[in-house]
Structure 1
């Protein structure tokens, strides 16, 4: 039986033919990633090429010796949900970058502003910024107008005292007072972009949840895992039957510890391997962080690790590994999460 090994590329593929004895037949064939290119391979047309493909030859050898595993295509809904979740991750990253730029500008022109709120990104804070943009505009704004924005955005939780405090901070700011037009223009554009991305994320969440609800999945019943996180985790894992055990899933997520050993030496300060899907690893770590600080059976496990002298990140990593075993069990059994102690 002759074996064809194909090295897959973006613009072209390369194929090598190996005889049952392991001898390469002719030179490798390079063909385009088109139907016409595939037809040329099916016709077994072998032509001379300047650069033989070692990779495709090795692939054929792997097949000949039987050292391979089969890979099945993902379910269409899983694939669609995975695309949307990964795209959402990139949109979130873009929004984070914009937030950093807004924060940097505010530190330059109005460093005292953020201290007026528990977070710069509260609706009250952003409502004021959208309206006035600069400390000079805030200082010159009618106090009643400023208060109306504060009252509306805070749902009547903040009083006139806050409006007066913000305006006083604006009039006494230590920030840059020149080139205000340039800063104002940049802030306006950045805030508009952030609002646009917020709407995109909202629309993405609706689409993702539509796909997630098509599955009989109970990942969202695990404390610390919200609906979007559940969809992301399911999309990256796909068919749980691909994994023989929870350890295999932990390895796929890349949160298994690496082992450094030489002779009789074995490192006690091992790091995560970070193999597998970075999207899955990120989603699990976010959920593990939530579990570590909220009412969850894994919260006690996190505290136990901290009491043992483990660093916060090390303890969170341990929680992430435990959480992955829970994820495996919920997907394997197809049942809602049942609380249990991990201590």
Structure 2
């Protein structure tokens, strides 16, 4: 086996390196700074080891550690001194490395040992092919789609805080479903404009109706009915002491500003995602309801489709696979989703499935069927199963480079 194995334990300041010979014996181990100079030193030592041993192949591996290893991976890929050798780079799932290390219970925990474990894992060769994408277009798109994922999470958390603040200020309006959305323009205008339930209850019905009509841009079919419901809810709301009410007005106003700011960020990200997505030809946008943003989120995580041999491999990579519990003649029918997987890919697949359910008859029927099969966690289960069904479709579309043709009802 004409290969050198290099395990790298990445840290924010230093990288521990372990160079392993083809037979599993140690060549050397050392530490370098996690910067350009350290990467250059690492490369020189690896090249020296290859030449010393007369080897032509090298496999380098490191754990996925947020942003700390990305620069090093790019450097190793572009480094000219390593380009004359046959090199492979693997970014390993930390869980996989940990499980591999469990086979050596006597090993202590330190950076040098972790680098050794990574190198030994590479030597055994049971490495997923779906860990590292060497096309920078996918990485650029991934930066944007993951930023959008976090922005959506922030918006969801802010909306929850907002509802808590709203209950404090207008408990009745928080309890009643008066507006189609408490985050719409008309609803937020009411919550911001009126400082207390008494102010909202005291305004004339005509004035409140006009206010709601203007802020809702004439979209309410019966604004007077909405105004009456708002005033009734205001009268039934708790009253706060003035000092507490004033503070609640302040935090509610800040929460509304935060939601608006995050929504602006998401719109800007969506626009840039669509622009970057134009550089990656694909057929996913032919699926109704998915659109360029969800398609981009899926493509950014999958990368080149040929990295995956089957749709089951993609599903497992996304965490849309169910654990198995079997012993002898017994096999459990009800099992949970596996706990591992790419949460970004899982999110975009589930969002795409949810959109497809609204736009495609076949997927709507499938979702409804799975929803009715159980009495609890109905939506969550049905959506996960629909997303798993969607994986099969997306795999075929990307593999065959063909457009989606819906099944006729």
Scaled to the shorter chain, the TM-score interval is 0.7 to 0.9
Distance 1:265 1:253 in 2: 28
Partner of 1:155: 217
Partner of 1:23: 25
Is the contact made by 2:169 and 2:249 (CA closer than 8 Å) also made in structure 1? no
Give the one of 215, 237, 255 matched to 1:190. 255
Is the contact made by 2:197 and 2:237 (CA closer than 8 Å) also made in structure 1? no
> TM-score, normalised to structure 1's length?
0.86
Is the contact made by 1:31 and 1:37 (CA closer than 8 Å) also made in structure 2? yes
Distance 1:41 1:72 in 2: 20
Q: After superposing the two structures, state which structure 1 stretch, 138-147 or 13-22, moved more.
A: 138-147
Q: After superposing the two structures, state which structure 1 stretch, 76-85 or 140-149, moved more.
A: 140-149
Partner of 1:175: 238
Distance 2:3 2:286 in 1: 51
Partner of 1:166: 230
Q: Could you report, residue by residue, the CA deviation over 1:2-32 in whole angstroms, capped at 9, with x for unpaired residues?
A: 7342223122222223344432235x20111
Distance 1:18 1:35 in 2: 23
Deviation at 1:225, TM superposition (A): 1.7
Partner of 2:391: 324
Partner of 1:111: 171
What does 1:1-343 correspond to in 2, within 5 Å?
3-10=4-11, 11-25=13-27, 28-44=29-45, 53-68=112-127, 72-114=132-174, 115=176, 116-141=178-203, 143-156=205-218, 157=220, 158-170=222-234, 172-178=235-241, 179-292=244-357, 295-306=360-371, 308-309=373-374, 312=378, 313-340=380-407
Pair 341,277 (structure 1): closer, same or farther in 2 beyond 3 Å: farther
Is the contact made by 2:197 and 2:239 (CA closer than 8 Å) also made in structure 1? no
Task: Flag structure 2 segments of 5+ consecutive residues without an equivalent.
Answer: 49-109
Task: Find the residue that maps to 1:25 and give its secondary structure.
Answer: strand
Deviation at 1:293, TM superposition (A): 5.3
Pair 68,303 (structure 1): closer, same or farther in 2 beyond 3 Å: closer
Distance 1:265 1:146 in 2: 65
Distance 1:294 1:266 in 2: 36
Deviation at 1:34, TM superposition (A): 1.8
Is the contact made by 1:2 and 1:17 (CA closer than 8 Å) also made in structure 2? no
Deviation at 1:236, TM superposition (A): 1.2
Distance 1:309 1:159 in 2: 40
Task: Find the residue that maps to 1:113 and give its secondary structure.
Answer: helix
Pair 42,307 (structure 1): closer, same or farther in 2 beyond 3 Å: closer
Is the contact made by 1:5 and 1:58 (CA closer than 8 Å) also made in structure 2? no
Pair 310,238 (structure 1): closer, same or farther in 2 beyond 3 Å: farther
Task: Find the residue that maps to 2:17 and give its secondary structure.
Answer: strand
Q: Number of aligned residue pairs: give it.
A: 337
Pair 134,204 (structure 1): closer, same or farther in 2 beyond 3 Å: farther
Pair 24,135 (structure 1): closer, same or farther in 2 beyond 3 Å: same
Distance 2:372 2:276 in 1: 41
Distance 2:260 2:119 in 1: 52
- Greater than 6 Å deviation, 4+ residue runs: none
Is the contact made by 2:289 and 2:352 (CA closer than 8 Å) also made in structure 1? yes
Task: Find the residue that maps to 1:272 and give its secondary structure.
Answer: coil
